[in-house]
Amino acid sequence: MTFVISCVMLCALLLFPAQPRAEDVIKIRHYHLQPRHDFALKLLELVLLKAGTPYQILAVKSNEVLTEGRVEKMLLDGELDMLFISTSAARERTMIPIKVPIYRGLLGLRLLLIQPQNNEKFKQIKNLQDLKPYVAGHNVHWSDFAVFKENGLKVVSSTSYDALFEMLKHNRFDYFSRGVNEVWSELALHSEDLMIADNLMLFYPHPVYFFVGKHRPELAALVEKGLAIATQDGSYKTLFQSYYADTIKKANLSSRTMIFLNNPAVPAGTAPIDTSWWLPPDR
């Protein structure tokens, strides 16, 4: 009888494996709520899966739109556990950076949203000097804001992401530079008034990392482990291409004039980004 009971218990364990206890589930609180963040959230799911630990990703919502600076402070105060955000020396000191550029540098490749009537003027731009008379729009809280000042470009700023599109439509500035991975979905919302400049792209080093709060070192270790596995087995690259292969093809990078910009926010000694997943080899 004891043998029969043991067999039944073994079969039950095989058929219905024990569910992880609530205290064993890794919980990750974040504040990335816009569609442009979908890839990074999917990558986070992938790396946690590869790390082999049960997890629950929780979006922290607010009744107000929070600035990037406010969200960063929430991480420092322990109200959030993770951000995916561009690197800086200050962020690398105050948070735990996982130094793998999650967009493979793609966010530093920028296409320009403009008003259609200005397209012919932008076709005449061939280099940085040609671009300098024109005014960019940018969010003052975004860490790459300093790129424009560093390269001698004029900027009009706002603290509101949504307001920048309306400001462009009302001639407050001439162009809004957007990551090639985000510009198409944004254009779809504003296609009656805006277009992408035909012939230009900007590029500057813009590594975006997973940053973990210092109160969660075990989470940082899991993310680093999962990223290494996903990179080695090819699942990271497969996910990247599933999101961006069509976008990269649509951008027709080989036909565009590339203007290189310096990014003063990137800490000294940061490793060069491997752009081979998306940049044509002749660029």
pLDDT digits (tens, 9 = 90+) for 201-220: 999 998 999 999 999 999 99
May I ask the CATH architecture of the domain 106-206? Answer: 3-Layer(aba) Sandwich (3.40)
Q: Please name the residues in contact with 24: beta carbons below 8 A apart, sequence gap of 6 or more.
A: 54
Span(s) in the chain for CATH 3.40.190.10 = 20-104+207-246, 106-206
pLDDT digits (tens, 9 = 90+) for 121-175: 999 999 999 999 999 999 988 878 889 999 999 999 998 889 999 999 999 999 9
Structure confidence at residue 238 (pLDDT): 98
pLDDT-derived band at 24 (thresholds 50, 70, 90) equals confident
Q: Could you give the count of Cα atoms lying within 13 Å of 86 in the half-sphere of its Cβ?
A: 24
110 touches 177 (CB < 8 A) = yes
Run of H or E residues at 149: helix 145-150
pLDDT at 104 over 60: yes
Distance CA 171, CA 174 (A): 7
Q: Could you give the count of Cα atoms lying within 13 Å of 137 in the half-sphere of its Cβ?
A: 24
Q: Which fold has domain 20-104+207-246?
A: D-Maltodextrin-Binding Protein; domain 2 (3.40.190)
Nearest C-alpha neighbor of 207 from the set 92, 49, 38, 41? 92
The residue assigned the tokens 């510009």 is 183
Run of H or E residues at 6: helix 2-15
The residue assigned the tokens 């700023």 is 157
Distance CA 44, CA 87 (A): 17
pLDDT-derived band at 283 (thresholds 50, 70, 90) equals low
Cβ count near 125 (within 10 Å): 20
Mean pLDDT for the chain?
Answer: 89
Residue 68 vs residue 269, higher pLDDT = 269
Q: What is the DSSP string of 35-81?
A: GGGHHHHHHHHHHHHHHT--EEEEE---SSPPPHHHHHHHHHTTS-S
Structure confidence at residue 280 (pLDDT): 82
pLDDT-derived band at 197 (thresholds 50, 70, 90) equals very high
Run of H or E residues at 47: helix 38-51
pLDDT digits (tens, 9 = 90+) for 25-47: 889 999 988 877 899 999 999 99
pTM: 0.78
